Structure 1
Amino acid sequence: MRLKNIIAAVGCALITSQAIAQKPENILAAAGSPPNPKVTVSWNRYYDYAGITDIVKKLAAAHPDLVKLESMGKSFQGKDLWVLTISDLKKGNADKKPAMYIDGNIHSNEIQGSEFAMYTAWYLVEMFNAGNKYVQELLADKTFYIAPTINPDARDNFFHKGNTANSPRSGMIPIDNDRDGLMNEDGFDDLDGDGHITTMRRKNPNGRYKVDPTDPRRMILVGQGEKGDYELLGQEGIDNDGDGFVNEDGEGAYDPNRDWGWNWQPNTIQGGAYKYPFSIPENRAVADFVMKHPNIAAGQSYHNNGGMILRGPGAIEDVETYNAQDIRVYDALGKKGEEMMPGYRYIVVYKDLYSVFGGELDWFYGGRGIYTFSNELWTDYLYYAKNVTDQRTPYDFDRDLLMKDAFVDWKTYNHPTYGEIEIGGFKKTFNRLHPGFLLESDAHRNMAFSVYHAYHTPKLRVDQIEVKDIGGGLKEVTAMVFNERIIPTHSSQDLKYNIEVPNIVSISGGTPIAAMIVTNKDLNITTEQKTDPANIKVSNIPGNGNVTVRWIVKGGSKYTINVESKKGGTASGTSN
C-alpha cells in the first residue's frame, strides 16, 4: 500500500510539473535571448566546481551537434579542467575553423569569469537551437574553445571556506611563503563561521574611527583633534602560531598569472611567481591545449575587477613586441568594446596599471601571436549606471537595491587576544563580484564583445579567378584571396618569429609549372616561388585585405583554387 502511495504521489508530481512547464505557445521571446532553452541555467548566482561540471555536461548532452566536452588536464588536486568546443560540428572540422579561446577564474577569488564563460557557451548553442541565423552562420564559420575555470581547486576554497572578497588569489599547491615551516597556513579565521571574513573593531574612547551617523554600518575616520569611539583591528583572525601577532602570516601563495612562459621573472623580481614558467599544472594544461590548436586566432581571459578591457604589454620591456600593425587591430576591437560595455575602459596593462611579468595575456600574444584581451569584470559604474567616487556608494547601493543583503551586521565576539570586540562588514560576494541581478546583464555584454572579437577572426574567400590562354598549351591562372575581417591570418608577432606555418594556396585542374605572388597587378610585378608550384606559400593575408596569386598551368580548362590557413580556415573557388 505504501509503494502504491509513493507511485501515485510521483505521478501527481509529474502531472503537476507538466501542467506548469513552459510551453512555446505561452512564451513571447524577449529580443536577443533564447526563449525556451534546452538547458535551463539561473545566471543570477555562482556555481562551484561540481555546479560547473553539471552545467557543461548538460550542455554537451543536450547539444551533441554543437558541443564537445573534454578535459584538457588535471588540477593540482586532480579535478578535470573542462573545455567546451562550441561549433556547428556538422559543418566542417571544428579544429580547422578560425577559433576563439576563452577562460576564466585563473585567480580563485575572481569567480564570475567562469559564469561569463559558461554563459557564452550556453547563449551560443541555445540561440543556434532557437533558429538565430547570425549565430548559426557564426558557428558554421568559427569555433569557440571555452574553459570555465582554470583554477578549480582554489575556486572551491573560495566558495566553501571563509574568505574575503580579495582572498585567496592563488591555487592550492602547498607553499611556505614566509618560511616558518607551515604550508599554506590561513592568515584569516572565520570567527563566526558564516563563510565571510569581515572586519574586527573594538570600542576605544580614543579611537580614530566613529560610526557614521547617517549609516550605522559604516565606520568613518574622525577629524583632526576629534576623538573617535572605535579602533579597527583588521580582518577576522586569531594568533595562529602563538607569536603574539594576528593575521601577520597571510596564506602562502603564488599567482597563477605570473607563471606563463613570456618575460617570466622569478619571485624575487615578480612577486607571486612559482618555480619556473609553466610549473603550475593548470597553466601547463592550458598551454598544451593552445599549442595543439593552431587555429586559435583570438583569446579572452576573464578577471575582476575595475571594468577594463586590457591588452598587453604587461611590462615596459615588451613595448616593442606590440608593434604598430597589431596595435591597430587591438584598437579597433578594444574601442568597440568600450561602446558595447558601458563603464569599461580599453587600456594597456603596464602603462595604465602596473607591471606584470609572466602573464597569460602576454604569452598568448607574444608566444603564440594570438590577439588576446583580459577583461576585468565589474565596475563601480554599474552601481547606479554613472561614474561614482563617493565611499558611501556601496552602502547606498546595498541598501537601495540589495535590501542590505551584502552586509554582515556588526555582532559582539569574545576574541582570545583582543577581548570583547565586534565583527561585521561586507560579504566576500560584494564589491568585486556582481550582485545577482547584474550578473547576467554584464555577462551578456562581455559575451557579445567576445563574439565580436571571434567574428573578426579571418574569413577567407577566393574569387576574381582569371584564366588567360598564353599559347603552347599553357594557361595563366590568376586568383585573388580576400580576408573579409579585421584580424589577419598571421599577426605581426607571428610573422616576426615564424610562429605558425604560412597559408597554402593550391590549384587543381591542370599541371602547374610555375607559381608566383602578384605584388602589383597593374604593373605585372610578381615574385616567383621556384619550388612546389602547386602550393603557393603566402606568409599573410591581411585583415580587410587580399593577396593575388598566379600560376602557369599546362592542360585543363577549369581550375579550382583552395586555401588552407591555420588561423584563417579554408576557402575555395572555381573558374568559369
Structure 2
Amino acid sequence: MKKYMLMAAVILCAVTLKAQKPENILAAVGTPPNPKVPISWNRYHDYAAITEICKKLAAAHPNLIKLETIGKSYQGKDLWIMSISDHKVGNADQKPAMYIDGNIHSNEIQGSEFALYTAWYLVEMYAANNQTVQSLLADKTFYIVPTINPDARDSFIHKANTAHSPRTGLIPIDNDRDGVDNEDGFDDLDGDGHITMMRRKNPNGRYKVDPSDSRRMIVVGYDEKGEYEILGSEGIDNDGDGLVNEDGEGAYDPNRDWGWNWQPNYIQGGAYKYPFSIPENRAVVDFVMKHPNIAAAQSYHNNGGMILRGPGAAEDVDTYNAQDVRVYDALGKKGEELLPGYRYLVVYKDLYSVFGGELDWFYGGRGIYTFSNELWTGYAMYNKAGADNTQDQLYTFDKDLLMKDAFVDWKPYKHPQYGDIEIGGFKKTYTRLHPGFLLESDAHRNMAFSVFHAYNTPKLSIDEIEVKEIGSGLKQVTAVVSNLRMIPTHSSQDIKNNIEIPDIVSLTGGTVVAGMVVNNRDLGITTEQKLDPTNIRVENIPGNSYVTVRWLVKGGTKFTVNVNSKKGGLASKSN
C-alpha cells in the first residue's frame, strides 16, 4: 500500500511541476507570467525572510538590482536597500530617483510587503520584456528599503501583541519612570501569540453578549442589567503598581524623530532624545543626503486608506507653497483613482499635528515630493464606503469572507489577580493588517501609484539647438531644454532654501565668449551669466515646460549641449 501511495505522490508531483512550465501557463495581464523568484504575496515576512527575498531578487536580476546595506538597526540588523534600475543604461545614482520605505512603525508591517512587491514587480516585469517597465528603469532609479524598523518588526511578528502595539522601536525606555525599563509589557496568558481581551462575569457590568453574534460584546442599555465587565487587554500587573500592560517595549515614536520642526517629548509625545537620535532614521538620512538624485519619496504606514502629504503641523503651513501644492494635488488626485477607498489628505488639517515626521523632513529639508500612504481601508471589505472598519463590519466580514479565522474564541482562564475570567477577541493580524487575499491587490495598486509618482519625476530633453552667424567671427548658439514630466527639477521649497545646486547647461565645440539665460526669445530679453559663461546655471526647469539658454561663441561648427541636473538627470545633444 505504501508503495502505491509513494508512486501516486511522485506522479502528482510530476504533474504539478509540468503545470508550472511556461507552456502550461496562460499569463494574466499585468502580472509577471513566470517570475524568476516566485513569492506568495498573501502573507507577512519577518526580517530573515525579507533578507532572503532581497538576496534572491538581487541574484536573479544582477543587472537590475544592487543590494547593499545603509546601516544597522539598534540590535545590529542590516538595513537593506535595493537600488533598482537598468544598470546597463547610465549611472543609477545620476537618474531621477524614487525612494520607498516601509514599516517605520513596528505594527505597520504591510509596508514592507508593499515595498518588496514593488521591487519584485519591477524586475520581474522587466525580465518579462514589458516595454513600459523597461523604459521606466532606463530613465529612473528606485531606492527601496523594505523595513526601517526591523528589530520591532520581528518583535511584533514573533511576540504576542495586539493589532495596535507596539508602534515603537526597541531601544529600552523606562516608560513609567519607576527605574526599570520595559518591565511590564503584555503577557500572553494562553500562549496563542495574540493579545486579546479579558472579560469577567459581573451582573453590574456594562456589557452583554450580542444576541446575534456570541463572539461580540455590546454595551447594555441604560435600563438593562449587565452580564460582563471588560478588564482590558490580556495581561498581568508584573510590577505591582496596580496597572496592567502600561510599560511595554519602547515608548518613543520613530516618526517623531526627524529633523524638521522637531519638538521634545513634553510637546510632541513619542519624541526621543534629539533629531535623528534613532540609528535607523540616521541611516536613512545619511543615504538620502548622499543621493541628491532622489526627487520623489513614499513611506508606507497603516491604516485608514489615506494618501498623506504634509505639513504635519499648522505652524509649517507656509512651507508648502502654491507651486508645490499644485504638483502634490495632481499626484494625490491620481492616487485616489488608482486606490479605491483611499483619500488624499493633509496631515495637520485632516488628521492631527505631527512634529518631527519623516514626511516633512523629506520635503522641508530636502525639497522632495513625498507621500505617506496609510495602507488598508475597510472600504475593501465589501467595496463600499460608509462603514469602514466599524465593529459591525469587522464581525460580519470575518464571518462572511474569513471563515471566522480572525477571532480567538472566548475561553475560561484563572487569572492570578482577577480570578475567573475569559480571554478572547480579534487576532493581532486583524483590523489594521490586510487579510491575505486582499494583500496582493492593494500592494499592486500602491505600487502603481508609486510608479506614477516616479514616472513624473523630471525627464530632460534638448529639443532644439539653433546656430546663427552674427558677424565678427561670432556664432549665436541657442538651446531649448525641456522637462517632459510633471515634477520640476527643483521644488519651490528647494529654490527658496537653496537646498540643491542649480541645473547646469554647458556647451562644447567652440570658445564661449558669453552665456545667458533667455527670458523672452521673441523680444530678445536675456540675463547674462558673467562668471563661467560656458556652464550656465539654471535655477529650475519647471514641470511640463522648458528653459532657453544662449551662448556667443568663437570658432567651431559642431556643438554639443549637455545638461546636468541633480534631480533631473543628464541630457545631451549635438547639432
Q: Which category of TM-score, normalised to the shorter sequence, fits these structures? A: over 0.9
Which residue does 1:446 correspond to in 2? 446
Matches within 5 A, 1:82-101: 82-101=80-99
**What stretches of structure 1 move > 6 A for 4+ residues in a row?**
12-15
Instruction: Give the RMSD, CA atoms, in angstroms.
Output: 1.6
1:99-153 deviation per Cα after TM superposition (whole angstroms, max 9, x unaligned)? 0000000000000000000000000000000010000000000000000000000
Specify every segment of 5 or more residues in structure 2 that has no aligned partner in the other structure, as ranges: 1-5
Question: Structure 1 residue 19: deviation in Å?
Answer: 4.2
Matches within 5 A, 1:426-437: 426-437=426-437
Which residue does 1:235 correspond to in 2? 233
Q: Secondary structure, in 3 states, of the residue corresponding to 1:320?
A: helix
User: TM-score, normalising length from structure 2?
Assistant: 0.97
Of residues 31-40 and 204-213 in structure 1, the stretch that sits farther from structure 2 once superposed is: 204-213
Which residue does 2:571 correspond to in 1? 571
Specify every segment of 5 or more residues in structure 1 that has no aligned partner in the other structure, as ranges: 1-7
Q: Secondary structure, in 3 states, of the residue corresponding to 1:216?
A: strand
Which residue does 2:106 correspond to in 1? 108
Match of 2:356 among 355, 358, 369: 358
Contact 1:178 1:252 in 2 (8 A): no
Contact 1:200 1:423 in 2 (8 A): yes
1:531 paired to 2:525: no
Q: How far apart, CA to CA, are the structure 2 residues paired with 1:536 and 1:552?
A: 12
Match of 1:275 among 269, 273, 279: 273
User: TM-score, normalising length from structure 1?
Assistant: 0.97
Q: How far apart, CA to CA, are the structure 1 residues paired with 2:11 and 2:497?
A: 64
Which residue does 2:551 correspond to in 1? 551
Q: How far apart, CA to CA, are the structure 2 residues paired with 1:252 and 1:284?
A: 18
Contact 1:380 1:388 in 2 (8 A): no
Q: How far apart, CA to CA, are the structure 1 residues paired with 2:103 and 2:531?
A: 48
Q: How far apart, CA to CA, are the structure 1 residues paired with 2:103 and 2:450?
A: 16
Question: Structure 1 residue 245: deviation in Å?
Answer: 3.0
Question: Structure 1 residue 529: deviation in Å?
Answer: 0.3
Contact 1:85 1:145 in 2 (8 A): yes
Question: Structure 1 residue 250: deviation in Å?
Answer: 4.2
Which residue does 2:139 correspond to in 1? 141
Q: How many residues align?
A: 568
Residue 150 of structure 2 aligns to which amino acid in structure 1?
P
Matches within 5 A, 1:92-491: 92-389=90-387, 390-491=390-491
Of residues 355-364 and 462-471 in structure 1, the stretch that sits farther from structure 2 once superposed is: 462-471
Q: Secondary structure, in 3 states, of the residue corresponding to 1:267?
A: coil
Of residues 462-471 and 290-299 in structure 1, the stretch that sits farther from structure 2 once superposed is: 462-471
Of residues 388-397 and 215-224 in structure 1, the stretch that sits farther from structure 2 once superposed is: 388-397
Question: Structure 1 residue 186: deviation in Å?
Answer: 3.6
Contact 2:97 2:143 in 1 (8 A): yes
Which residue does 1:501 correspond to in 2? 501
Q: How far apart, CA to CA, are the structure 1 residues paired with 2:15 and 2:161?
A: 39
Q: Secondary structure, in 3 states, of the residue corresponding to 2:319?
A: coil
Q: How far apart, CA to CA, are the structure 1 residues paired with 2:525 and 2:241?
A: 80
1:500-542 deviation per Cα after TM superposition (whole angstroms, max 9, x unaligned)? 0110001111111100000001100000000111100001000
Change (3 A) 1:501 1:218: same
Question: Structure 1 residue 205: deviation in Å?
Answer: 1.4
Q: Secondary structure, in 3 states, of the residue corresponding to 2:481?
A: strand
Q: How far apart, CA to CA, are the structure 2 residues paired with 1:441 and 1:205?
A: 46
Q: Secondary structure, in 3 states, of the residue corresponding to 1:45?
A: coil
Contact 2:168 2:249 in 1 (8 A): no
Q: Secondary structure, in 3 states, of the residue corresponding to 1:556?
A: coil
Q: How far apart, CA to CA, are the structure 2 residues paired with 1:562 and 1:35?
A: 40
Q: Secondary structure, in 3 states, of the residue corresponding to 1:333?
A: helix
1:41 paired to 2:16: no
Question: Structure 1 residue 388: deviation in Å?
Answer: 3.5
Q: How far apart, CA to CA, are the structure 2 residues paired with 1:382 and 1:182?
A: 43
Residue 542 of structure 2 aligns to which amino acid in structure 1?
P
Q: Secondary structure, in 3 states, of the residue corresponding to 1:475?
A: strand
Q: How far apart, CA to CA, are the structure 1 residues paired with 2:404 and 2:61?
A: 40
Q: How far apart, CA to CA, are the structure 1 residues paired with 2:383 and 2:16?
A: 40
The percentage of aligned residue pairs carrying the same residue is 78
Residue 216 of structure 2 aligns to which amino acid in structure 1?
R
Residue 165 of structure 2 aligns to which amino acid in structure 1?
S
Q: How far apart, CA to CA, are the structure 1 residues paired with 2:96 and 2:221?
A: 60
Question: Structure 1 residue 562: deviation in Å?
Answer: 0.5
Q: Secondary structure, in 3 states, of the residue corresponding to 1:319?
A: helix
Question: Structure 1 residue 495: deviation in Å?
Answer: 0.5
Q: How far apart, CA to CA, are the structure 2 residues paired with 1:473 and 1:520?
A: 25
Of residues 454-463 and 243-252 in structure 1, the stretch that sits farther from structure 2 once superposed is: 243-252
Change (3 A) 1:81 1:14: farther
Q: How far apart, CA to CA, are the structure 1 residues paired with 2:396 and 2:89?
A: 51
Q: How far apart, CA to CA, are the structure 1 residues paired with 2:226 and 2:13?
A: 64
Which residue does 1:3 correspond to in 2? none
